[in-house]
Amino acid sequence: MAGMSPALRAHARAKVNLSLEVVGRRDDGYHDLVSVMQTLSLADTLTIEEAAELTFYCSDSELDTSDNLVVRAARLLRSRCNVSRGCSMYLQKEIPASAGLGGGSSDAAAALAALNTFWNAGATCSDLCAMAEELGSDVPFFLYGGTSLVRGRGEKVTRLRDPRPAWYVLANPGVPARTADVFSALSPDEWTSGEATLAMAMSISGDGRSTLLGVNGLEPSLFRINREAKECFDLVSSLASGRAIVAGSGPTVVAGSDTEESAMEIARLLTGRVPWVRVARSHSPAPGELPCA
Ligand code: C5P
């Protein structure tokens, strides 16, 4: 048919926070953060096809709803860019929900970027960032991807040089953590200056070598409200020479490794003891793969 756009398939990658500090609370109730974020090979897949109306299907029935962030992203882009076309969207989930891995936020960013292309909507990187920020604090980062320094509520993103490739063991205890609950359990005396995370960002920019894990200022509050996350953290730490960190607001626990073999070995030891275990590689977007990369 004339004017039909070919189907488009986009990856929505998971992230880990290699370091995350909460530095204060803002007048709007959100918190100011300093974080180094890293996209991973683990990804959901969003497939977009021509259709008269806006329709959405998801492989996970619990997420197959009309208020899914993917649908909200599509509606937002459509109204901001005066698009009158529809599309059918299918989201194949691989990233667990409410896990700290940014799945929902990444899906939303992938929808914005892919539909901007599919509909030829003409939004610039900065237009897309403004829409991303409205959809959620972590969404702007996913328009950049790779290794990025993220500040403010999450909207100030600076792409860093790619560090050496690394492998990450991801262990999810299977008891979801609501981000809002983790932030509200945090006490102001647990805020930090952000310096440890900025130092990590500098060292990544400087020599491109760092695969180290930094700090996560949300761990104390998460562990107070989610016992399973603390148990999972202790288990992963014990298998990974004491080096583990919670991803974002959790409850997924991350261990890093320079080699795939040692990551696989830790994952093997965790299998059967934690409900969901994966090994993922760090991922840097190719030029043009993401709208702001
Ligand atoms: O922005 P998003 O909807 O993902 O945030 C979910 C919740 O996490 C917010 O309602 C807020 O309670 C908390 N949050 C925060 N500061 C941030 C990001 C999230 O307090 N920078």
Nearest CA among 103, 132, 110, 130 for reference residue 48? 110
Atom of ligand 1 nearest to the CA of 29: 20
* Residues 225-261: tens digit of each pLDDT: 999 999 999 999 999 987 999 999 999 999 999 899 9
| Neighbouring C-alpha atoms within 13 Å toward the C-beta of 113 | 26
The letter for the amino acid at 118 is F
Residues with CB under 6 A from ligand 1: 30-31, 33, 136-138, 153-154, 179-180, 183
Residue 222, pLDDT above cutoff 70 = yes
- Ligand 1 center to 28 CA (angstroms): 10
Residue 169 has pLDDT above 80, yes or no: yes
Return mean pLDDT, the chain: 95
Give the pLDDT score at 211.
Answer: 60
pLDDT exceeding 90 applies to what percent of the chain?
89
26-63 in b/e form (b: 16+ CB < 10 A) is: eeeeebbbbbbbbbbbbbbbbebbbeeebebebebeeb
From 15, 44, 93, 107, the catalytic residue: 15
Q: Please identify which of the residues 44, 93, 107, 138 carries the catalytic annotation.
A: 138
Q: How far is the CA of 226 from the centre of ligand 1 (A)?
A: 18
- The verdict on whether 230 is a catalytic residue reads no
Q: How far is the CA of 64 from the centre of ligand 1 (A)?
A: 23
Q: Is the pLDDT of residue 2 over 60?
A: no
User: Average pLDDT of 5-32?
Assistant: 96
Ligand 1 atom 8 nearest Cα: 180
CB 108 within 8 A of CB 133: no
Res. 115: pLDDT tops 70: yes
Average pLDDT over residues 47-69: 96
Is residue 210 pLDDT above 70, yes or no?
Answer: no
Confidence of residue 163 (pLDDT cuts 50, 70, 90): confident
Q: Which pLDDT belongs to residue 209?
A: 65
Q: Given this model, what pLDDT does residue 287 score?
A: 87
Confidence check: pLDDT of 208 > 70? no
Q: Give the N- to C-terminal CA distance of the chain in Å, as an integer.
A: 34
